[in-house]
C-alpha cells in the first residue's frame, strides 16, 4: 500500500499533502524530532523521533520503499529514498529522480562551500503560490504512478 512520508522540516505544503491523501485514501506520516500539533485527521500519523541530527531522516529512510512517496527538502534524504525505490518530491514540487539526484547533491555541496567561505549569503526565494501549485501537481502525479504500479 502506498504511503506518504513527510520530513516535517520541509512542510509548508501540509494542506496539499492531506488533500491528495484524502482523495486516494493514503496514510501520511509526518516525521519530526519535536512536538507537532495533532491534526486529528484519520489519515495523518504524526511521528516524533528522538532528538539528534538526521533522526527523522533515518526513520523515513528505514521505512519508505517501492510505491511510497517521500516529501522533503533534504537532498541526502531524497537520495536515500530513491535508493530504496520510493519517489521523492521537494516541497517546491520539483521531483528528485535517479538521473537528477547526483547533480542536486553536487549543487548542495557547492552551495554549502560557498556559504562557508562567505561568497554566498544563502537563502533562496520565498515559497510562492506557483511552488505550491507545482507541488500539488507533482504529488498527484507521483500518487497516480504509484497506484498504477501496484
Q: What is the pLDDT of residue 121?
A: 66
Q: What's the pLDDT tens digit per position in 30-61?
A: 998 876 666 778 999 999 998 887 899 999 99
Q: Is residue 18 part of a domain?
A: yes
Q: In percent, how much of the chain has pLDDT > 70?
A: 81
Specify which of 92-96, 124-128, 143-147 reaches the highest per-range mean pLDDT: 143-147
Q: Is residue 84 part of a domain?
A: yes
Q: Is residue 140 part of a domain?
A: yes
Nearest alpha carbon to residue 32 among 75, 66, 72, 82: 72
Q: Is residue 115 part of a domain?
A: no
Q: Is residue 121 part of a domain?
A: no
Q: Is residue 36 part of a domain?
A: yes
Residue 107: pLDDT band with limits 50, 70, 90: low
Q: Is residue 113 part of a domain?
A: no
* Residues 52-73, mean pLDDT to the nearest whole number: 93
- Asked if 13 contacts 132 with a C-beta cutoff of 8 angstroms, the reply is yes
Nearest alpha carbon to residue 138 among 41, 70, 62: 70
Is a pLDDT exceeding 60 seen at residue 10?
Answer: no
How many domains, in total, are found in the chain? 1
Q: What is the span of the domain harbouring residue 33?
A: 3-98+128-149
Query: Domain of 64: which CATH number?
Result: 3.40.50
d(CA 57, CA 81): 10
Q: Is residue 73 part of a domain?
A: yes
Is a pLDDT exceeding 80 seen at residue 109?
Answer: no
Amino acid at each position: 500500500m502506498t504511503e506518504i512520508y513527510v520530513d516535517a522540516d520541509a512542510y509548508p505544503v501540509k494542506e496539499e499533502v492531506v488533500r491528495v491523501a484524502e482523495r486516494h485514501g493514503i496514510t501520511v506520516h509526518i516525521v519530526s524530532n519535536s512536538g507537532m500539533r495533532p491534526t486529528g485527521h484519520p489519515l495523518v500519523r504524526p511521528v516524533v523521533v528522538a532528538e539528534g541530527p538526521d533522526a527523522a531522516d533515518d526513520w523515513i529512510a528505514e521505512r519508505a520503499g517501492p510505491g511510497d512517496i517521500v516529501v522533503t527538502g533534504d537532498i541526502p534524504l531524497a537520495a536515500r529514498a530513491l535508493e530504496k525505490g520510493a519517489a521523492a518530491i521537494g516541497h517546491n514540487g520539483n521531483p528528485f529522480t535517479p538521473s537528477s539526484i547526483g547533480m542536486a547533491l553536487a549543487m548542495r555541496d557547492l552551495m554549502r562551500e560557498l556559504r562557508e567561505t562567505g561568497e554566498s549569503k544563502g537563502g533562496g526565494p520565498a515559497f510562492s503560490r506557483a511552488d505550491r501549485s507545482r507541488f500539488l501537481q507533482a504529488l498527484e502525479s507521483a500518487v497516480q504512478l504509484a497506484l498504477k504500479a501496484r
